[in-house]
């Protein structure tokens, strides 16, 4: 009887191992990503180029939303069955460390499998955990300052007057421009803290310390950021609006001079045919006092992950497309997906001047900006901290003491982390 029970136990264990097994190697690459006109379009072009030398490899690109990818990863890891996952999947950069930290059995360590030379250090940092690479960088969220040159000219300024400046100087110029033209420099969605996060990363500062602990209440660069942001709003240089659509509306209806945001915002600006030739770009302002302050930052972007399994080698081979300059030149005209792979700037599509932006080779310029973006620490609780900072800033804007508000925000995040 004991022998039978022992044999049954072995069978159960083997069945359990089978359930937890990876998808069998089948010479097929399955990819999960979102946005048919951006990520999916780019992957389909990569597939077409890969098929030239690998005609027998089947590549299936499936549309799966970002939130659904994260939920499916959590479900698969909890069930111990990774066979339900694709070979390759896209992950938001700000979520990458959270996902790998929570579900390390899902993500392939690519450190010794892939060549990361040529990708910007700040971009790589999003998917590096404990010194190991888990993501292949893709699109840039490199921040640009985009301005209506006709409005600047009315006030006696050029785009060069906005280059390499501090936020203090920006506010001075912004007040003068508004007085002479009636237009504020910037707009943004109230409570979204995109601007705060952009300004914070520009000096390499973070909401967390290197050991993962929360860094809010004693974060001097963050306090300087909040002070500069509040000064812009109080001076009427930055106008807060109620929704994303209203923010986009201020650009399309010409009620602001410009914006500072991830370079993906240029796709919206480029769609404004009646404003062609009236825009140009430069870098963003920097903090005046923070150590390590630069005129460069990032907002958004994503990276590719490869699921642990038997088709890892095939997936890694396919992802060599993301080190191919011709690939980036092929996807740029149709997707506006700007690379974070520096050699791409030598390609014809990147070096070409943009008539819309006064002849500036905007894509090569953005790649150069991206090379100078400081790294920051996101961690598994990035969005908890972001939400807490949003509340702190909103309360400070309504008369609260910023020191007290950031102390409360830190307590809130510590509670979420179980401390």
Task: Check whether 219 has a pLDDT greater than 70.
Answer: yes
Residue 365 near residue 397 (C-beta atoms within 8 A): no
pLDDT for position 310: 74
Nearest to 413 by CA among 396, 389, 394: 389
Confidence bin at 309 (pLDDT 50/70/90) = confident
Per residue in 119-133, pLDDT tens?
Answer: 999 999 999 999 999
Task: Check whether 382 has a pLDDT greater than 90.
Answer: yes
Per residue in 321-359, pLDDT tens?
Answer: 999 999 999 999 888 889 899 999 888 999 999 999 999
Retrieve residue 150's tokens.
């006709």
Residue 28 φ/ψ, nearest 5 degrees: -120, 145
Confidence bin at 10 (pLDDT 50/70/90) = very low
Task: Check whether 98 has a pLDDT greater than 80.
Answer: yes
Enumerate domains of the chain plus CATH numbers. 27-140+300-344 (3.40.190.10), 143-297+381-416 (3.40.190.10)
Task: Check whether 5 has a pLDDT greater than 50.
Answer: no
Query: What is the distance of C-alpha 154 from the center of its chain?
Result: 34
pLDDT for position 324: 96
Crossing angle of the two packed helices 220-234 and 194-201, in degrees rounded to 10: 130
Cβ atoms within 10 Å of 253's Cβ, excluding its own: 9
Per residue in 141-169, pLDDT tens?
Answer: 999 999 999 999 999 999 999 999 999 99
Torsion of CA 282, 288, 289, 290, to 10 degrees: -20
Instruction: For the chain, give the percent of residues with pLDDT over 70.
Output: 94
pLDDT for position 25: 60
How many angstroms separate the CA atoms of 191 and 217, rounded? 19
294-307 in b/e form (b: 16+ CB < 10 A) is: bbbbbbbbbbbbbb
Average pLDDT across the chain, whole number: 92
The whole-number average pLDDT for the span 250-272 is: 95
Three-state secondary structure readout of the chain: CHHHHHHHHHHHHHHHHHHCCCCCCCCEEEEEECCCCCHHHHHHHHHHHHHCCCCCCEEEEEECCHHHHHHHHHHHHHHCCHHHCCCEEEEEHHHHHHHHHHCCCCECCCCCCCCCCCECHHHHHCCEECCEECCEECECCEEEEEEEHHHHHHCCCCHHHHCCCEHHHHHHHHHHHHHHHCCCCEEEECCCCHHHHHHHHCCCCCCECCCCCECCCCCHHHHHHHHHHHHHHHCCCEEEECCHHHHHHHHHCCCCCEEEEECCHHHHHHCCHHHCCCEEEECCCECCCCCCCCCCCECCCEEEEEECCCCHHHHHHHHHHHHCHHHHHHHHHHHCCCECEHHHHHCHHHHCCECCCCCECHHHHHHHHHCCCCCCCCCCCHHHHHHHHHHHHHHHHCCCCHHHHHHHHHHHHHHHCCC
The lowest-confidence range among 200-209, 214-223, 373-382 is: 373-382
């Amino acid at each position: 009887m004991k022998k039978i029970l022992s044999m049954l136990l072995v069978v159960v264990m083997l069945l359990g191992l089978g359930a937890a097994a990876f998808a069998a190697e089948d010479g097929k690459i399955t990819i999960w990503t979102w946005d048919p006109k951006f990520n999916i379009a780019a992957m389909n072009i990569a597939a077409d180029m890969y098929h030239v030398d690998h005609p027998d490899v089947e590549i299936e690109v499936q549309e799966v939303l970002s939130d659904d990818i994260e939920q499916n990863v959590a479900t698969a890891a909890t069930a111990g069955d990774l066979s339900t996952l694709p070979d390759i999947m896209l992950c938001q950069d700000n979520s990458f460390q959270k996902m790998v930290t929570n579900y390390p059995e899902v993500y392939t360590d690519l450190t010794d499998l892939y060549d990361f030379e040529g990708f910007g250090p700040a971009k790589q940092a999003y998917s590096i955990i404990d010194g190991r690479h888990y993501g292949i960088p893709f699109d840039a969220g490199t921040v640009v300052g985009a301005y209506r040159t006709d409005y600047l000219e009315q006030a006696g300024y050029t785009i060069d007057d906005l280059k390499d400046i501090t936020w203090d100087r920006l506010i001075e110029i912004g007040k003068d421009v508004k007085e002479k033209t009636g237009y504020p420099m910037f707009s943004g969605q109230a409570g979204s803290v995109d601007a705060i996060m952009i300004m914070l990363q520009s000096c390499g500062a973070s909401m967390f310390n290197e050991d993962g602990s929360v860094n809010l209440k004693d974060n001097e660069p963050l306090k300087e950021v909040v002070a500069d942001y509040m000064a812009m709003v109080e001076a009427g240089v930055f106008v807060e609006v109620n929704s994303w659509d209203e923010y986009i509306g201020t650009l399309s209806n010409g009620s602001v001079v410009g914006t500072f945001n991830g370079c993906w915002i240029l796709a919206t600006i480029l769609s404004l045919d009646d404003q062609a030739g009236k825009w140009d770009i430069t870098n963003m302002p920097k903090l005046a006092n923070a150590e390590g302050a630069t005129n460069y930052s990032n907002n958004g972007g994503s990276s590719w992950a490869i699921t642990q399994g038997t088709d890892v080698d095939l997936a890694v081979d396919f992802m060599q497309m993301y080190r191919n300059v011709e690939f980036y030149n092929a996807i740029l005209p149709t997707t506006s997906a700007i690379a974070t792979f520096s050699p791409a700037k030598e390609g014809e599509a990147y070096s070409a001047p943009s008539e819309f932006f006064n002849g500036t080779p905007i894509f090569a310029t953005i790649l150069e900006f991206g090379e100078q973006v400081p790294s920051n620490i996101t961690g598994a609780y990035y969005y908890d901290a972001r939400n807490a900072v949003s509340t702190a800033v909103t309360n400070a804007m309504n008369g609260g003491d910023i020191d007290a508000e950031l102390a409360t925000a830190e307590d809130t995040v510590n509670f979420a982390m179980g401390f």
